[in-house]
Amino acid sequence: MELPSTPRVVLYALAVAVGLGLVVAASTTGAAFGAYNLEWDGTSDLRELTDQRTESQVLLDTAPYERSDANGSIAVVLSPTEPYGPNDTRRVREFVDAGGTLVVADDFGPHSNALLDDLGASARFNGTQLRDERHYYRAPSLPVATNVSETRYTEGVDQLTLNKATAIDAGNATVVATTSPFAYLDRNGTGNLSAGDELGTYPVVTAESIGEGRVIAVGDPSLFINAMLSQPDNAAFASAIFDAHDRALLDYSHAGEQPPLAVASLIFSSSTALQLGVGALGIGAVWGQALLSGGLVGAVRRSLSSVLPPEWRRRLPAWLRGTKSDDGPVDEEAILTALRKRYPEWDESRLRHVMADVLSERTRGGADE
CATH 3.40.50 occupies which residues in the chain? 29-270
User: In the 3-class helix/strand/coil scheme, how is 177-189 assigned residue by residue?
Assistant: EECCCCEEECCCC
- Reduce the DSSP state of residue 100 to 3 states and report it: coil
Closest CA to 215 of 30, 300, 81, 89: 89
CA atoms of 238 and 53, how far apart (whole Å) = 10
Phi, psi of 55 (to 5 degrees): -75, 120
Phi, psi of 199 (to 5 degrees): -70, 145
Instruction: Provide long-range contacts, Cβ within 8 A and 24+ apart, for 12-16.
Output: none
Give me the pLDDT at residue 176, please.
Answer: 98
Give me the pLDDT at residue 20, please.
Answer: 40
Beta strands 213-218 and 101-105, pairing class? parallel
- Reduce the DSSP state of residue 317 to 3 states and report it: coil
Threshold 0.95, pTM exceeds: no
CA angle 222, 135, 244 (to 5 degrees): 50
Is 216 exposed, middle or buried (CB count within 10 Å of its CB: 0-12, 13-18, 19+)? buried
User: For each of the chain's 369 residues, which pLDDT tens digit applies?
Assistant: 555 556 655 554 555 444 443 333 333 456 889 888 999 999 999 999 999 999 999 999 999 999 999 999 999 999 999 999 999 999 999 999 999 999 999 999 999 999 999 999 999 999 999 999 999 999 999 999 999 999 999 999 999 999 999 999 999 999 999 999 999 999 999 999 998 899 999 999 999 999 999 999 999 999 999 999 999 999 999 999 999 999 999 999 998 765 555 555 445 444 455 545 655 565 555 555 544 455 555 665 666 566 566 655 555 555 555 554 444 555 677 777 777 877 788 888 887 877 777 666 555 554 444
Phi, psi of 200 (to 5 degrees): 170, 180
How would CATH label the architecture of 29-270? 3-Layer(aba) Sandwich (3.40)
CA atoms of 76 and 69, how far apart (whole Å) = 15
